[in-house]
């Protein structure tokens, strides 16, 4: 039977639970192990996806009330890309419609049996569900299926574990993995039996399960303490940057939208660039000079994805603080992608979750060099629809000068225009205006130097005594 036929047979229907024979609690126990890498089913790697060979994966998507099958299809397409990035092959995908998830198995016992038959037919190693499973649901499914049952969260955690390179990134990923594994610890045979008796150990003692759980909690606390120290260092660096009066710009967007390529093109940052999901996890900051003479700090951040695991958002808090503290978000969107607006919505959902939803945003539609069905690329069409956005190509360099000009305009709009007269004996003040603001014009007068300059609100407050009619100063004239 071909994989295509299997996918067609096990399609969108779910057998009612009352039409299914009661399942043996130990279903699947006749298979002591399988090739999957999670739980009771063997595997040789520490990850959730076995990488000593290309695992064969069955994907399962569920459409619940309030959602449509097209949305589930799009999510499964992305899950297949995640599976490929993790080093496995998605060979079959199954769909189901339910009014609400089943509390015990998420898909119901009848559908779980169908999934098992499909998995056996194509000799798959692991079944991956597009939605997050509770520990109980995962345990029940593995009993029925006789192989590993994972969810989207586990796959994303596995990819992050492969790609983390810095000490901070590795600590953040390990913390997220431990938080995911902790509620999924369970007793399995003699490995978790109670400790033996003897002098000093008489009495019931504690089970090996409790020992392992305590070890995980200790490790979680250690990682949290280490990351708090990193966060303290970042806050110190942020204070030092604020003293320079330079604005901070964060590049955010969906994974594989081209953020790292754009930063490399603009600043020669030499950040790793690959055509795959989550190629870079560590934040990289570089100075970016703008056409108006200003300099901003541009930071490349970790890419987002639909249904980004909460564990990752929490663990990467120290990295994502860069986004929350930024003055401007350059939201990079793959204009040639299948669902740019869905990607934009997913990114904004994560931004709201981390407290960055109110930071000013500049939409940048990347990959403008990729033409669509018409002579105009998808990026240019989107840029016409969204006012104030820019279509660029990080690959060819198309329109990057215009992007820098727009960023400069947005940064200057955060400053205030002021006219000042600096006495001749206050050369230190005159120097500070040149250092902290953008001087538009200056002329010598009898009592001092008259300047028109754009200044940060904090700098303007310190120079208030030198202002010329501040209440009548224009708020937004054209810059020469």
Q: For 108-119, what is each residue's pLDDT tens digit? A: 999 999 999 999
Q: What is the CATH number of the domain that holds 453?
A: 3.30.70
**Which structure tokens are listed for 53?**
């060979």
Does any domain span residue 177?
Answer: no
96 pLDDT tier (thresholds 50, 70, 90): very high
Is 338 a residue whose pLDDT tops 60?
yes
> Are 354 and 445 contained in the same domain?
no
Q: pLDDT of 375-395, one tens digit each?
A: 456 788 898 899 999 999 998
Does any domain span residue 300?
Answer: yes
**Which structure tokens are listed for 466?**
């030198």
Does any domain span residue 217?
Answer: no
Q: Could you tell me how many residues make up the chain? A: 480
Does any domain span residue 140?
Answer: yes
**Separation in Å, CA 235 to CA 114, 184, 228, 242, 251:** 53, 35, 10, 10, 19
pLDDT of residue 39: 41
In whole angstroms, what is the distance from residue 3 CA to residue 5 CA?
Answer: 5
> Are 457 and 440 contained in the same domain?
yes
**Residue at which a domain ends, from 412, 429, 447:** 412
pLDDT of residue 3: 40
pLDDT of residue 38: 42
> 114 by DSSP, 3-state: which?
helix
**Of 15-29, 186-200, 447-461, the least confident:** 15-29
Does any domain span residue 238?
Answer: no
> Are 259 and 381 contained in the same domain?
yes
Q: How many CA atoms lie within 13 A of 434 on its CB side?
A: 10
Contact 445, 422 (CB under 8 A): no
> Are 121 and 18 contained in the same domain?
yes
Is 225 a residue whose pLDDT tops 60?
yes
Cross-strand bridge partners of residue 338: none
Helices (H), 182-275: 208-243, 259-267
| Domain total in the chain | 3
Domain ranges, residue 342: 245-412
pLDDT of residue 241: 61
Q: pLDDT of 40-54, one tens digit each?
A: 444 444 455 655 668
> 424 by DSSP, 3-state: which?
coil
Does any domain span residue 406?
Answer: yes
> Are 356 and 342 contained in the same domain?
yes
**Residue at which a domain ends, from 159, 190, 212:** 159
Q: Please state the rounded mean pLDDT for residues 222-242.
A: 78
Is 477 a residue whose pLDDT tops 50?
no
In whole angstroms, what is the distance from residue 441 CA to residue 451 CA?
Answer: 6
Listed as own residue / partner, the contacts of 349-357 with beta carbons closer than 8 Å and 24 or more positions apart are 350/304, 350/308, 350/313, 351/252, 351/323, 353/313, 354/313, 354/317, 354/320, 354/323, 354/324, 355/324, 356/320, 356/323, 356/324, 356/326, 356/329
- Residue 12: name the closest of 95, 106, 131 by CA: 95
Return the percentage of the chain with pLDDT > 90, whole number: 26
**Which structure tokens are listed for 299?**
């930071």
165 pLDDT tier (thresholds 50, 70, 90): confident
> Are 440 and 408 contained in the same domain?
no
Does any domain span residue 454?
Answer: yes
pLDDT of residue 24: 40
> Are 371 and 391 contained in the same domain?
yes
> Are 363 and 453 contained in the same domain?
no
Does any domain span residue 273?
Answer: yes
Q: Maximum distance among all alpha carbons in the chain?
A: 99
> Are 58 and 84 contained in the same domain?
yes
Q: What are the phi and psi torsion angles at 443 (to 5°)?
A: -145, 145
> Are 122 and 141 contained in the same domain?
yes
> Are 10 and 152 contained in the same domain?
yes
270 pLDDT tier (thresholds 50, 70, 90): confident
Q: pLDDT of 26-40, one tens digit each?
A: 344 444 444 444 444
Residue 136 exposed, middle or buried by CB count within 10 Å (0-12, 13-18, 19+): middle
In whole angstroms, what is the distance from residue 383 CA to residue 402 CA?
Answer: 13
State the Rg of the chain over Cα: 28
> Are 103 and 149 contained in the same domain?
yes
Contact 425, 445 (CB under 8 A): no
In whole angstroms, what is the distance from residue 262 CA to residue 367 CA?
Answer: 10
Contact 313, 346 (CB under 8 A): no
Q: What is the CATH number of the domain that holds 95?
A: 3.40.50.11060
In whole angstroms, what is the distance from residue 464 CA to residue 1 CA?
Answer: 81
Strands (DSSP E) along 64-125, which ranges?
Answer: 89-97
Contact 15, 114 (CB under 8 A): yes
Is 305 a residue whose pLDDT tops 90?
no
Q: What is the CATH number of the domain that holds 271?
A: 3.40.50.300
In whole angstroms, what is the distance from residue 392 CA to residue 401 CA?
Answer: 9
**Residue at which a domain ends, from 394, 412, 430:** 412
pLDDT of residue 8: 37
């Amino acid at each position: 039977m071909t994989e295509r036929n299997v996918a067609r047979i096990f399609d969108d229907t779910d057998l009612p639970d009352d039409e299914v024979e009661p399942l043996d609690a130990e279903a699947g126990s006749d298979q002591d192990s399988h090739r999957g890498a999670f739980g009771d089913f063997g595997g040789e790697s520490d990850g959730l996806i076995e990488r000593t060979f290309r695992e064969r994966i069955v994907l399962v998507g569920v459409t619940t009330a309030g959602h449509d099958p097209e949305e589930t299809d799009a999510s499964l397409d992305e899950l297949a890309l995640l599976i490929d990035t993790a080093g496995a092959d998605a060979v079959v995908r199954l769909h189901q419609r339910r009014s609400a998830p089943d509390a015990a198995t998420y898909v119901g016992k009848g559908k779980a049996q169908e999934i098992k038959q499909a998995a056996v037919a194509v000799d798959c190693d692991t079944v991956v569900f597009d939605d997050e499973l509770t520990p109980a649901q995962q345990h029940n499914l593995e009993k029925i299926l006789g192989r590993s049952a994972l969810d989207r969260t586990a796959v994303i955690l596995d990819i992050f574990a492969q790609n983390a390179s810095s000490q901070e990134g590795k600590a953040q990923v390990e913390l997220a993995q431990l938080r995911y594994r902790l509620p999924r610890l369970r007793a399995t045979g003699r490995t978790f039996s109670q400790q033996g008796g003897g002098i000093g150990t008489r009495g019931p003692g504690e089970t090996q399960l409790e020992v392992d759980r305590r070890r995980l909690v200790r490790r979680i606390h250690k990682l949290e303490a280490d990351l708090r120290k990193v966060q303290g260092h970042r806050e110190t660096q942020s204070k030092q940057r604020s003293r320079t009066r330079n604005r901070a710009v964060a590049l955010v967007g969906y994974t594989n939208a081209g953020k790292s390529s754009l930063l490399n093109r603009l600043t020669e940052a030499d950040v790793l660039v690959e055509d795959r999901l989550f190629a870079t996890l560590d934040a990289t900051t570089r100075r970016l000079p703008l056409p108006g003479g200003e300099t901003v700090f541009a930071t490349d951040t970790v890419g987002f994805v639909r249904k980004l695991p909460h564990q990752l958002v929490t663990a990467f808090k120290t990295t994502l603080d860069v986004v929350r503290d930024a003055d401007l978000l350059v939201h990079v969107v793959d204009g040639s992608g299948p669902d740019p607006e869905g990607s934009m919505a997913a990114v904004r959902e994560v931004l709201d979750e981390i407290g960055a939803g109110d930071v000013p945003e500049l939409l940048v539609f990347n990959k403008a060099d990729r033409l669509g069905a018409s002579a105009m690329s998808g990026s240019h069409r989107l840029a016409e629809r969204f006012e104030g956005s820019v279509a660029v190509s990080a690959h060819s360099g198309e329109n990057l000068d215009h992007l820098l000009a727009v960023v400069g305009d947005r940064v200057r709009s955060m400053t205030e225009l002021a006219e000042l007269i600096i006495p001749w004996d206050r050369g230190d003040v005159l120097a500070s205006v040149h250092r902290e603001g953008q001087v538009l014009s200056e002329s010598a007068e009898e009592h001092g130097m008259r300047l028109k300059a754009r200044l940060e609100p904090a700098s303007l407050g310190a120079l208030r005594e030198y202002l010329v009619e501040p209440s009548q100063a224009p708020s937004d004239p054209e810059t020469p």
